[in-house]
Chains A and B, each alone.
Chain A
Amino acid sequence: MRMKTLIRIACSFLMATLLPLQAGAQSEVKLGSLNDFTGPTSDVGKDAALGIREAVGYVNDTGGINGKRIKLLQYDYGYRVPEAITTYKRFRDFDKVVAVFGWGTGDTEALAPTVAKDKLPYLSHSFSAFLADPKKTPYNFIYGTDYSSNARAAMTAWYDQVWLKDPRFKAERDKGVKPRFVSFYMKACPYCSAAIKALNDHAAILGFEVGPDQDVPLTALDVKSQIIAVEGFKPHLIWHGNIVMSVATALKDARALGLKADHIVNNWGFDENLVKLAGPAAEGVIGPAVNAFYGEKAPLMDKVVEYAKKMTPGVPQQNRLIRTVQSWVDVLLMREALVRADKAGKLNGPGIKEAFESIRDWTPGLGRPPITITPTDHRPGSFVRVYRIQKGKFNLLEAVDLKKRWPEKWDMWLGY
């Protein structure tokens, strides 16, 4: 009897001394993350990926998911849809993640039917409006205002604050001239073209004349031929749907060729790097931001900066972007849903979906307007802040609340 007791004590002691490092594995919540470190969106993708890892570090240091640590499985897929699908299957079948952080529009839209069938919540950096309609994509969620809303808001802000007020356009306004508008984007890229239908619809609402769209590759280092192609149309406004490098190229070439047009940019083309890369050509450029810029004064920004310095010391602070902050919003929204699902005892696909859909007027800080997600509308809000670059700084031009301005159309724009 005494012998058995001693053996039990010794075994318990050995278990206690040798296994504590593995104990964490039993209280983990696994999340998959698809990121672009190498592909044609890597100029914004790398910063976003770093931000995800840093934000997860912060979540784990501050209680995790009701005490459970997040185990983040983060993969580069080089913006290649087949690789994203393959990695997703690994997340689902082997890693058994409870939810996924997604990246591009092409892969997220391609995966949407599978995600719905698998009932695996998928929170993406792609803000394609298609992903916000739960009738079509019930397990997809976005943390930023959708591309269509962002484009409508940027166009509205330019119309309100520039076209209607700027003395440059007084003579034309007085004559009743319609503002002329063209779009520059890569036509074969789902992200770049996602807002075109909404933009053309909005141009009609505001009374614009729409000129010929120009096809600009994401990797363009020369956009002169596209600039020359629209010179005859004399656009007042150009919308850029690509990401930073090719937008910077277009802005520089437009300036070099003397094209007198204003520029609005989709949110993934509008960040701190645009100012660096386009230089003086970035002056006056307008675009939406889904949250505060990196280092801007906002609640929780001190933690964003602290964790960037602590977890990624090799990347200089001046190279960090708004993409880091976006990823914090992304991760903190995911945490909110996971905490709610876990508290309800439903840390599974349907439970997490239900938790996302219970979020009302919630914000993590970081300059993110309050987020509301419902079972019938996964757009996280209608309020878009639109900025203008002036002397290298981002100044708020107008905060556009699309639902308030067009209440009769807001519901129709779901998934548009």
Chain B
Amino acid sequence: MRKALLTAMMVMFLAGWSAIGEATAAKLQTPTVELERVEIQSYFPYAEKPTRVPLVLAFIFRITNPNTFMVGMEDMRFTYGFEAKPGEFFDLNTPTVFDTMYIPGKTTNQLRVVSVLDSMVVPSTLAVSSGFRVQALELKIPDVVKMWWEQIGDFSFGIRVTEGVASFISKEGGVLATFEGKFPRK
């Protein structure tokens, strides 16, 4: 019994030592972040002002750790925008995630980021951040917002993710991963 216990402890000790050796010998490779899909997390039908209608989206990312050792993701942020005319995207929000997650070596985690848009706020976002561009494209902000709320179920317009940055930590130090993506991917 005592011998078996000693053997087990030696195995654990060596396994631990080996893991450390592997980690310190390996160079930290940057994990990858990929937009897998966008889902409508919760849907409320559009209504004209002054009714405030939320649009609750979920962005599902695949986060792959190419290393042989565990890495932790400390935070992540990205900007997403909707297409108002073919090829014309307008950034609407920049969600940030702080929930730390650990990803074992050579595995992929999925992360769901929920973000809420507000039919009363989006018009101001468009006006203050892209007002002159909206005018130049001869778009009417209320019509664009209505179209987005009503057609989101079919994803008949593109959703673009840009400026994505995720911060990873490991025993080998930290690294930032950048990413962007589009949904639907056609």
Question: Is the beta-carbon distance between A314 and B94 smaller than 8 angstroms?
Answer: no
Is A78 in the interface zone, CB < 8 Å from B?
Answer: yes
Chain A, interface size category, equals: 35 or more
A17 touches B20 (CB 8 A): yes
Q: Which residue in A37, A219, A311 is a CB contact (below 8 Å) of B123?
A: A219
B170:A21 contact, CB within 8 angstroms: yes
B88 within 8 A of A: no
Q: Are B70 and A21 in contact (CB under 8 A)?
A: yes
Q: Chain A residues with Cβ under 8 A from B77's Cβ?
A: 53
Asked whether B176 is an interface residue with its Cβ less than 8 Å from the other chain, the reply is yes
Query: With A10-B9, A313-B178 known to touch, is A37 a contact of B131 (CB < 8 Å)?
Result: no
Measured in the bound complex, the distance between the Cα atoms of B3 and A3 in whole Å is: 10
Which parts of A215-256 form the interface with B (CB within 8 Å)? 218-221, 243-246, 248-249
Q: Which residues of chain B from 39 to 79 have a CB within 8 Å of any chain A CB? A: 70, 72, 75, 77, 79
Contact assessment for B128 and A245 in the assembled complex, using a CB-CB cutoff below 8 Å: yes
Chain A CB within 8 A of B155 CB: no
> How many inter-chain residue pairs (CB < 8 Å) link A and B?
110
Asked whether A74 and B96 contact (CB < 8 A) given A21-B169, A312-B165, the answer is: yes
> Nearest Cβ distance between residue A57 and chain B, in whole angstroms?
8
Given contacts A21-B169, A38-B121, contact A14 B96 (CB under 8 A): no
Contact of B128 among A3, A24, A218, A314 (CB under 8 A): A218
**A40 contacts chain B at the CB level, 8 A cutoff:** yes
Q: Any chain B CB within 8 A of the CB of A110?
A: no
* A contact set with B: CB distance below 8 Å: 3, 6-7, 9-10, 13-14, 17-18, 20-21, 24, 37-43, 46, 49, 53, 71-76, 78-80, 218-221, 243-246, 248-249, 277, 310-315
Binding site for A on B (CB under 8 A): 2, 5-6, 9, 12-13, 16-17, 19-20, 70, 72, 75, 77, 79, 92-96, 98, 102, 117-118, 121-125, 127-129, 131-132, 134-135, 162-165, 169-171, 176, 178, 180
| 26 intermolecular pairs with C-beta atoms under 8 Å apart | A3-B2, A6-B6, A7-B9, A9-B13, A10-B13, A20-B171, A24-B169, A37-B93, A39-B121, A46-B129, A72-B98, A74-B96, A75-B96, A76-B94, A78-B121, A79-B124, A219-B123, A221-B131, A244-B128, A245-B128, A248-B132, A310-B176, A311-B176, A314-B162, A314-B164, A314-B180
Q: Apart from A80-B121, A313-B178, what 14 extra A-B contacts exist at CB < 8 Å?
A: A3-B2, A3-B5, A13-B16, A13-B17, A21-B169, A38-B92, A38-B94, A40-B127, A76-B95, A76-B96, A244-B128, A314-B162, A314-B178, A315-B163
